[in-house]
Structure 1
C-alpha cells in the first residue's frame, strides 16, 4: 500500500486542476493511452472492472 501511495504522490504533479476550482469530467477520448508503471501493475490487476 505504501508503494501505491508513493506512486500516486509522484503522479499528483501530472494531474490538472481547473483554474475555476469547478470539477469537470474529462472527455472520454481523453482517457485513452493511460499507462501504469510496471511496479504498480499488480495493484491494478487485482482491481474490479469498471461497473462490477
Structure 2
C-alpha cells in the first residue's frame, strides 16, 4: 500500500488555528454533506458457499468457536 502525503497551504485565516472550534467543525461537516450521499437502501443477497474462495480459519480459532455453544450447537 502506498502512503501518499499531500501538503497544501492552510486556508486563509487558519494558519495558527490548527484545532479550530466546534462551530467551525460543524460548518465543515455541513459543507461536506453533499459529498457523502448514500443509497436509500442496500439489499444484500446471500452468496452461495461455492463462490466463497480463499477463506481460511486457523485451527485454534475453529476450536474456540466450536467450543462456544451459541456458534455450533
Q: TM-score, normalised by structure 2?
A: 0.26
Greater Rg by CA: 2
Tell me the TM-score normalized by structure 1.
0.35
> Which structure carries more relative contact order (alpha carbon 8 Å, separation 6+)?
1
